[in-house]
């Protein structure tokens, strides 16, 4: 076998497996249709607007602001640089977005006790309430889009997406270690 070809082995769990020529590790074969479908779903999720009726009066956030609230809620307290690395945005772009969220009372910014030059960001109670309200509105959109799905289909999708997310994170981490 030449280094530019892969060997197809017996299917595992109904999916054909290819052997990567460089290290012999099995890799699942992914169809172009699956890749396109995931891209389409990703784009549709990213295009979901933050519904104005899900926000308290006087609060306005865009999609980027929503995703920043989500990110901070997952791992607070965080430095601005940590958020920038995780969402792959430029610090100057991100600092403007964060300033708007701090000014709106959705994020709290406190000095980092380990380094007084830096600040730590965390979700305020108001930010948590806004995030929950927006999440509920987004879940309603998803529920409508999946209204004719069975509970088993929804559970299977959620399980598969969690597994895919973990695999993508692992691949991303491995890529960074090369």
Q: Where in the chain is the domain with CATH 1.10.10.10?
A: 53-137
Whole-structure pTM value: 0.71
pLDDT per residue as tens, the chain (178 positions): 444 444 444 444 444 444 454 455 555 677 788 888 999 998 888 888 888 888 888 888 888 888 899 999 998 899 988 888 887 778 888 888 899 999 999 999 999 888 878 889 999 999 999 999 999 988 999 999 999 999 999 999 999 999 998 998 888 787 766 5
CA distances from 22 to 1, 3, 14, 125, 177 (A): 11, 7, 24, 51, 17
Query: H or E segment at 123?
Result: strand 115-123
What is the CATH T-level fold of the domain 53-137, as seen in this structure? Arc Repressor Mutant, subunit A (1.10.10)
């Amino acid at each position: 076998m030449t280094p530019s070809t892969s060997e197809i082995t017996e299917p595992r769990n109904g999916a054909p497996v290819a052997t990567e020529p460089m290290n012999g590790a099995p890799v699942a074969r992914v169809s172009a249709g699956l890749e396109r479908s995931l891209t389409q779903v990703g784009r549709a999720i990213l295009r979901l607007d933050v519904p104005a009726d899900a926000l308290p009066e006087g609060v306005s956030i865009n999609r980027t602001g929503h995703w920043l609230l989500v990110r901070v809620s997952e791992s607070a307290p965080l430095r601005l640089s940590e958020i920038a690395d995780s969402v792959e945005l430029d610090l100057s772009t991100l600092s403007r977005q964060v300033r708007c969220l701090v000014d709106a009372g959705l994020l709290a910014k406190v000095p980092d006790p380990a380094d007084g030059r830096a600040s730590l960001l965390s979700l305020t109670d108001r930010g948590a309430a806004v995030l929950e309200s927006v999440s509920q509105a987004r879940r309603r959109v998803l529920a409508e889009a999946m209204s004719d799905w069975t509970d088993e289909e929804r559970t299977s999708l959620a399980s598969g997406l969690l597994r895919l997310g973990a695999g993508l994170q692992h691949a991303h981490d491995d890529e960074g270690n090369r």
